Amino acid sequence: QVQLVESGGGSAQAGGSQTLSCTASGDVYSSYCMAWFRQVPGQDREWVAAIFTGGGEPSYGASVKGRFTSSHDDSRKTLYLQMSSLKPEDSAIYYCAADLLLTYGQCTVLAGTGPDDFDYWGQGTQVTVSS
């Protein structure tokens, strides 16, 4: 059993910054895949970023590349998403996810990290960016 708890959502201005956190607990150990997804009602869940814990380098979706930074604090078992240069189209519910079986390569490639690939999910946190 793995639990993911998200925090940090809220409102932000266009061009501003905001940081989301996702803390894992339960049966989580070193070196596994974590990811961020976001979803607007009525639309598909979009892959945002992924990182393999234990020192892996993050990967990003094209829509956020260069603006968002994901990192993982192994000691705190916490995943972060630092969002900068926010745009109104970044408004969505953001979900963190984790999977214990994905490989490093699968974790950092979009085709291998679809929503169906993840067994554990955070509760979601709303991010609203106003112009």
pLDDT in tens, 73-125: 999 999 999 999 999 999 999 999 999 999 998 998 765 578 999 999 999 99
Q: Residue 88: left (phi > 0), alpha (psi -120 to 50), or beta?
A: alpha
Measuring CA to CA, which residue among 38, 122, 44 is closest to residue 86?
A: 38
- pLDDT at residue 109, as a whole number: 79
CA 100 to chain centre: 15
Mean pLDDT of 22-43: 93
Task: Give, as one character, the DSSP assignment of residue 107.
Answer: H
> And the tokens for 118?
């993840």
> And the tokens for 18?
């905001």
Mean pLDDT of 17-39: 94
Mean pLDDT of 43-48: 94
Alpha-carbon distance 59 to 51, whole Å?
6
> And the tokens for 72?
């993982």
Alpha-carbon distance 113 to 37, whole Å?
10
- Has residue 56 got a pLDDT over 80? yes
- pLDDT at residue 89, as a whole number: 97
- Percent above pLDDT 70 for the chain: 98
- pLDDT at residue 114, as a whole number: 87
Task: Give, as one character, the DSSP assignment of residue 55.
Answer: T
- Has residue 29 got a pLDDT over 90? no
Task: Give, as one character, the DSSP assignment of residue 105.
Answer: H
